[in-house]
Chains A and B, each alone.
Chain A
Amino acid sequence: TQLLEQSPQFLSIQEGENLTVYCNSSSVFSSLQWYRQEPGEGPVLLVTVVTGGEVKKLKRLTFQFGDARKDSSLHITAAQPGDTGLYLCAGGTSGTYKYIFGTGTRLKVLA
């Protein structure tokens, strides 16, 4: 059974601090997505990474896919209160349509 473990589970930081969220698995994925979910809404895609070692930047967010395509990280620089939300990673396997979602990291950025 494929599992995606995220850490930390909860994170509360002050505005302006940096943070990293991790998404780890023992399985290899052909693609990995990061989503952010706000209360009362569905998850919204932030980024998709498909190549081992790939790094993508989205403003203050940096996403990395591990060389072995088993893990990923999300780094936020100078966090803002608007970054508050539930961050979910999701792994996809080539040839299938199932996306395995991680356990989630709930981030709260205090002003």
Chain B
Amino acid sequence: GAGVSQSPSNKVTEKGKDVELRCDPISGHTALYWYRQSLGQGLEFLIYFQGNSAPDKSGLPSDRFSAERTGGSVSTLTIQRTQQEDSAVYLCASSSPGQGPPLHFGNGTRLTVT
């Protein structure tokens, strides 16, 4: 029973470069979330996918951020033209078809923009 898998675990990139963060949810979980966590603080909602429905992108901070989920499983969060303020831990979570808690989180990708 694998949990939520995120890669890479760490990413250092130069300002202005694009990055892709990957999330592999728990098999059978139809709901997938991306959150951002800065400096070990609370979580900021970014985007939500549920099955084949249109995603809720209301939390994406700018048009440099985008995400997709292929085949209802793996998701990729892309940040274009990275800025230093994008430095944070990006957490992915999935949940069971009933959509209720708990959210099962991956260990996150720590992004550092230099």
Contacts and interface: CB of A to CB of B under 8 A. Distances in A.
Interface of A: 4, 6, 31, 33, 40-45, 48, 86, 88, 90, 92, 97-104, 106
Contacts, number: 62
A102 B101 contact: no
Q: Which size class do B's interface residues fall under? A: 20 to 34
How would you classify the secondary structure of chain A's contact residues: helix, strand, loop or mixed? strand
Contacts of B56: 97-98
B4 interface: yes
B31 A42 contact: no
B25 interface: no
A88 B102 contact: no
B42 A102 contact: yes
Contacts of B108: 40-42
Nearest to A38: B107
Interface in B1-40: 4, 31, 33, 35, 40
A93 to B, nearest CB: 12
6 contacts: A6-B42, A31-B101, A33-B102, A88-B43, A92-B100, A99-B33
Interface in B52-107: 56, 91, 93, 99-103, 105-107
Given A33-B101, A41-B107, A45-B101, A86 B45 contact: no
Nearest to B92: A42
B102 A45 contact: yes
